[in-house]
Every structure is written in C-alpha cells, then in structure tokens.
A and B are shown apart, each in its own frame.
Chain A
Amino acid sequence: MPTTTPVAGMTLDVVERGKGQALLFLHAGEGLEPQKPWLDLLAAHYRVIAPAHPGYGRSELPGWMSSVEDLAYLYLDLAARMELEDAILAGACFGGWIAAEMAVRDTRRFSRLVLIDPLGIKNGGVHDRDIADMHGMPREAYMKLAWADPAKGAIDYAAMPETEIAARVRGRDAFALFGWKPYMHNPRLKRWLHRIDLPTLLLWGAQDGIVTPAYGEGWCDAIPDARLEIIPQAGHFPHWEQPEQFVDRLAAFVDGKVPS
C-alpha cells in the first residue's frame, strides 16, 4: 500500500518497496501503475520510492500548482525530506521530463540519472512536431503510436472500481494541466541540459511513435555524460512492455557496465 507523505505543504501518495540504494522513480503520463511488474523488479535491487504525481492516484493537486517546474521543486523537496544520498533518479515519459528539470537544478542527492523515453525538450523547428499530439488523435491511433503491442496497454474500465477510474481521470486532467502548452515540453530546457553532471542513461523503445529514438538522440547530444540504449519490441513505455530488459539495463548502467 502506498503511504501518504507530507512534502512542501501538501500530501503525496508514495509507494516504497525494497532495500538498498535509493531509486526515485517518476512515473509516465499514463500513471504510476504500482501493480505492474517493474516496480517489484526494481525493488529486487533497490529501495524504490515512487510517488504518484500531484493529481494522480491519491496525491493532492494544490490549486497553485500548474507547472513542471513546480513538480521538479516538489520532488527535490521530497528527496531532501527523505534524506536521500547517492540515489538513482529515474523517470519515464512525463516523469523523465520532471527528472531532467530536477537534474538541471540540483543533483546533490543523486549519483545516476535514467530517462526512459522522456518528453520535455524541443529539437526541431516551428513546423516540426517532435512530440506526437496525444490529445489530438483517436485513442486507437494513440495506442498504435505508443505501443509496440497495443494489446499490452489496453485498459478494461468496465471491470474497474469507480474510485480507480476517477483516479485515472484526475491523472489525465493533471497531465494536461502540466503539459498542454507548450505541448509536453519546456522550450528552454534543452539550453540547460549541459548542467546535468550525472552519468545519464537514456532508454528508448525502438517502436516509440510518441517521441522517436531520433528525438532521443537530441537528448543524448545535449547531456554531457549520456548514452542512449534502444530496447527492441517496445514503444513509448519500455518499462511496461519489456520490464525485465528495462531493469537489467538500468542495473547494468548503475553497476558501471558498458553494454557490449
């Protein structure tokens, strides 16, 4: 069960599992999905700390909060409150954007950064849509872009309790609140990625159609000590579609192993 943790004058829903080196996992726009396997797989290696973003799950969304900058400071506060040292900072999709916004500000509590198909930067020109318009296409088209195997991401609302559906609806609203305009990125973030002084692993789903591996190269070029690894048979959520590969690659990176 998640615990409710007070931070920055609000309360956050935080899942904590496992022991060892701390790993702060910031979830994707789709939500935390704590019942899916990747948090448990990570918890076999690390002390996993996974908050539900404000507005998601049972986390509060204060009226004043509306930017990814707010979320970055919130989680820096959380890391300080939990007295994290030498921690791994990992974020997927929307969570990757938040993690990068944290890392350009303050890395003192962290020793590694892992970004999984992150949103958040602009590579191309004014007519280039670097990030697919997830809110401007029918659900079916979105699923085809976001998943190597869309069946893995299907959600059965009919079988779900209403409280759980409501939590997902609130998460959907919060995702839009934070990312609507500029769409899912901060136009200035790429300018500051040079400040990230952590060894950084970019993990990318080979079939990600929301932000493609080519978009990942833009991240890789802008972060001083970064490498990009592609996970086959995965789309925008490789931690969800290929959880074992995701955790193996993350652990190898943390152990300082260079992939063959």
Chain B
Amino acid sequence: MRVWYFSEMAYHPAWDEGLSRGSMRVVLPNKNFDPQVGHGLLNRYLDEFALCDEVGLDIMVNKHHSTATCLTVSVSMALAILARETKRARLLSLGTPIANRPDPVRVAEEMAWLDVLSGGRLEMGLVKGAPYEIAPANSNPANLMRRYWEAHDLILKAMSTTDGPFNWEGEFFHYRNVNIWPRPLQQPTPPVWMTGLSADTGRAAAERGHVIGTLLSGAVAKPMFDTYRKRAQELGWTAGPDRFAYAAVVGVGDTREEGYRRADLAAGYVRTAPVVLEPFTNPPGYNSVGANVAMLKAGPKRGGFVLDRDGKPVDHRTATVEQFMASDTVFAGTPDDVFNQIRDFNDRIGGFGHLLFFGQGGFLDHNDTVANITLFAREVLPRLRELSPAPARTATAAVR
C-alpha cells in the first residue's frame, strides 16, 4: 500500500466565525483571513509536506476556493514548490476540477510541466469537484459532467499527442492548434485519478483504467469499488488494489489517548467542511434526479450525514472520534491500533492500494503534526507495505 500524506492547509483561525455564520465557504468574507497569520500557516504546511519526503511518505495536494477550510487555490502552485522541495515522494494532484476550469489545455500544460520538473513523479487527478465549488467558479452545474468528459478527453489527448498541433472544436472547448510544450515525462500521460461516490463513477473510471478514490465515507466506497472491479472484469482485465484509494483522517500516538487526541484535532476539518450555506450544497444538475427526488421527499435536510458500519447515521459536523471511527472516516490510536483498523477496513472494502492520509486538519499544531507524520511513517507505513505490496509507481492501466 502506498500512503499519501494530505492536508487541506486549513485556515482554522476563522472557523468560529464561519460556524457562527453557518457557512465556512462562499459567503464568509475574507476580512476574516489575516494575511500575516496566513503567511505563517502556508509556510508551515509546506514544511510538513516536505517532511513526508524524508520519512518515506508520498504527497497529495488538493484545492478549494473561497473557504476557510482550505487555503490551497491551485494544486499546480503547491506541487511546483513541493516538486523542488522533495526528491523521492510521488506527487498526487487530487485534483484539478476540470469542469470548473475554463482552459483544459492550460491544465494539460501545467501538469506536463510539473511532471517534467519532478522527474516523472506526478499523478494527475481530474475531478468533478465539490458542489460548493460551482459558486466560486460560476460554472454551469447543469452540464457539469458533459463538460468534465470533454475536458478530460482533451487534456489526455493534449498530453499524449506528440505530432501536433491538433484541432479541437467540441461542445465547450475550441482550439485550432493544440500542441503543448513541455510534454509529460511519463508516457503517454502521468497516471490518472478520479474521485467519486457512485457506482456510475466506478464504472466510468474502470472503462478508462483510472485510479478511483473516495474520501471520508467508508460505507459508500464499497459499491463504487465493487462496480469498478466488475466492469474491469467484463472488459477483460483484473483491477488490483492499486486502482483504489481511500482518504481517512489518521491520528497516531505513543499511547491510544495521544492518537485519539491527534485524530480529534485533525478531524476538526471533517466537522467544518460540510458547514456551507444551503443553496451551495446542491446546485441544479450536480446531483442525479433520483438523488434529488429522495432529498425532496425526505424534507429539508440537515446534511453532512454518513452511515456507520451498523447503518446508523453519523453527523459529520458534531461526530466524536469514536463515531468517526465507526464510519471508517478516522483511524486512530497507537500504531498497532491504526494498523489493525486499516487492515480490517482493507478486508471489508475488498483491498485498496492507496491510503490518503489526512494527517493535519486545522487545530493540530505543528509539533503534533510532525509527530503524527513521523510516527506513522516509522511504525505503520512498513506494515501497510507488507499488507499490500505497492508497485514502484501507480502506472497507467494497460487498457487505455
């Protein structure tokens, strides 16, 4: 198993204000961001990412906009720094919300540039993006996935074409001379990742051989992974664990109490992330008609619920560490505890090859974060590698 350390680079000093206004995102004015405090935090977070390279972890960066939960506005910028600060770690962008970006060729250029700069260490997530990213981008949610697939196809063609320029006159994007310089070091493209929750996404990813990841939602990962495996089988190949990724908050300590305490602080991120003004949580067309019918029948929803292993709903905004652990959102305790929890989850889910290690989440301070990263890398990582041997690189599936 590969383990990718991940932090949203939260701006937790504004969380109280966001909670009192009922929205961490979109409508929380940026006067609640102190640039001097932000200067310290951004540099600190990048130091923590860089530490991962020294202790043997890989690195994942994501991005959001207009929010106190995540200061990363561009995976390309963050990874450009980390490509220079690290020598060994693979660098996962998870990812670029390509249906919200006006210029897919620019995305292809930036990703190729990062791949060349890092010596072929890039893994490239092309994601749908969260519903509350629609408002900052003001992209049309009603045809989001049509735009996603057109951007996806264009980006992969731009990265893998060596005898361009080529013409692209599609529904959303128009170019007459696509011919990116530089082209990526990994041929034909860096490994491609998607994220999702639904069986449909699992099927679509399987048809392209992409890695599929899901975040913080144990109960829903299994049907998506199962659908992926089944579809791959139908297409004549076997999807190994290296096609599947799962993100969880992890708190590890020398004692169980210390691990729980770190997990509790890091899980602050999970509690704040769903706090969004209602209209931005479900823009028209973002969710399926069926999902919307169910929501309307259920009445005004409170949001933020996932089901634990016993089928009980857990409210992510108020959950305890124990409740998060029951829904496989958090793994916590001593190194033994954490390993056992991940091993059990791995068995339940049918095997996954990438743990996205959410190791910092707001109020977990620098010393605790460093301890969380180093203890995990020393005591848990080697056993996870034995649990599920990782290939040298994720590799692009042969089906493409």
Which residues of A come within 8 Å of B, CB atoms? 63-64, 66, 135-139, 157-158, 162, 165-166, 168-170, 172-177, 180-181
Q: Are B283 and A176 in contact (CB under 8 A)?
A: yes
B142 at the A interface (CB under 8 A):
yes
Q: Are B285 and A137 in contact (CB under 8 A)?
A: no
Docked Cα-Cα span, A181 to B290, in Å, equals: 25
Residue from A66, A157, A177 within 8 A of B296 (CB atoms)? A157
Q: Are B279 and A166 in contact (CB under 8 A)?
A: no
Q: Are A176 and B278 in contact (CB under 8 A)?
A: no
Would A181 and B140 be within 8 Å (CB), given that A135-B284, A138-B277, A176-B283 are in contact? yes
A139, A173, A177, A181 — most chain B CB neighbours (10 Å): A173
Residue from B277, B278, B284 within 8 A of A173 (CB atoms)? B284
Interface set, chain B 90-135, CB cutoff 8 A to A: 135
Residue from B140, B278, B290, B293 within 8 A of A177 (CB atoms)? B140
Docked Cα-Cα span, A138 to B283, in Å, equals: 12
Q: Are A169 and B283 in contact (CB under 8 A)?
A: no
Docked Cα-Cα span, A136 to B282, in Å, equals: 11
Do most interface residues of chain A lie in helix, strand or loop, or is the interface mixed?
helix
Which residues of B come within 8 Å of A, CB atoms? 135, 138-143, 146, 171, 277-280, 283-285, 289-290, 292-293, 296-297, 299
Q: Are B140 and A169 in contact (CB under 8 A)?
A: no
Q: Are A158 and B289 in contact (CB under 8 A)?
A: no
Residue from B146, B171, B297 within 8 A of A165 (CB atoms)? B297
Q: Are A177 and B279 in contact (CB under 8 A)?
A: no
Q: How far is the CB of A133 from chain B (nearest CB, A)?
A: 9
Residues of chain A within 8 A of B290, CB atoms compared = 166
Residue from B171, B284, B289 within 8 A of A176 (CB atoms)? B284
Residue from B284, B297, B299 within 8 A of A172 (CB atoms)? B284
Would A177 and B297 be within 8 Å (CB), given that A135-B284, A136-B280 are in contact? no
Q: Are B284 and A165 in contact (CB under 8 A)?
A: no
Using CB atoms, name the residue of chain B closest to A61: B142
* 5 A-B pairs with C-beta separation under 8 A: A158-B297, A173-B142, A174-B142, A177-B143, A180-B140
Docked Cα-Cα span, A66 to B296, in Å, equals: 26
Q: How far is the CB of B174 from chain A (nearest CB, A)?
A: 15
Would A139 and B278 be within 8 Å (CB), given that A177-B140, A180-B140 are in contact? yes
Residues of chain B within 8 A of A157, CB atoms compared = 296-297, 299
Docked Cα-Cα span, A162 to B299, in Å, equals: 13
Q: How far is the CB of A223 from chain B (nearest CB, A)?
A: 29
Residues of chain B within 8 A of A172, CB atoms compared = 284, 292
Q: How far is the CB of B323 from chain A (nearest CB, A)?
A: 28
Q: Are A176 and B297 in contact (CB under 8 A)?
A: no
Docked Cα-Cα span, A64 to B296, in Å, equals: 29
Residues of chain B within 8 A of A64, CB atoms compared = 171
Docked Cα-Cα span, A26 to B102, in Å, equals: 33
Sorted nearest first, the 9 A-B pairs with minimum C-beta distance are A177-B142, A176-B284, A180-B140, A173-B285, A176-B142, A157-B296, A169-B292, A165-B293, A173-B284
Residues of chain B within 8 A of A173, CB atoms compared = 142, 284-285, 289
Residues of chain B within 8 A of A63, CB atoms compared = 146
Residues of chain A within 8 A of B139, CB atoms compared = 181
Q: How far is the CB of A155 from chain B (nearest CB, A)?
A: 9
Using CB atoms, name the residue of chain B closest to A176: B284
Q: How far is the CB of A58 from chain B (nearest CB, A)?
A: 14
Q: Are A180 and B289 in contact (CB under 8 A)?
A: no
Q: Are A181 and B138 in contact (CB under 8 A)?
A: yes
Q: Are B141 and A176 in contact (CB under 8 A)?
A: yes
Docked Cα-Cα span, A131 to B334, in Å, equals: 56
Q: Are B285 and A176 in contact (CB under 8 A)?
A: yes
Q: Are A158 and B299 in contact (CB under 8 A)?
A: yes
Residues of chain A within 8 A of B143, CB atoms compared = 66, 177
Residues of chain A within 8 A of B138, CB atoms compared = 180-181
Docked Cα-Cα span, A213 to B279, in Å, equals: 26
Residues of chain B within 8 A of A136, CB atoms compared = 135, 279-280
Q: Are B292 and A180 in contact (CB under 8 A)?
A: no
Q: How far is the CB of A22 from chain B (nearest CB, A)?
A: 32
Residues of chain B within 8 A of A162, CB atoms compared = 293, 297
Docked Cα-Cα span, A181 to B283, in Å, equals: 14
Residues of chain A within 8 A of B278, CB atoms compared = 138-139
Using CB atoms, name the residue of chain B closest to A141: B279
Besides A135-B283, A177-B143, 20 more A-B contacts (Cβ < 8 Å) are: A63-B146, A135-B279, A139-B279, A157-B296, A157-B297, A157-B299, A158-B297, A162-B297, A166-B290, A166-B293, A169-B292, A169-B293, A170-B289, A172-B284, A173-B285, A174-B142, A175-B284, A176-B283, A177-B142, A180-B142
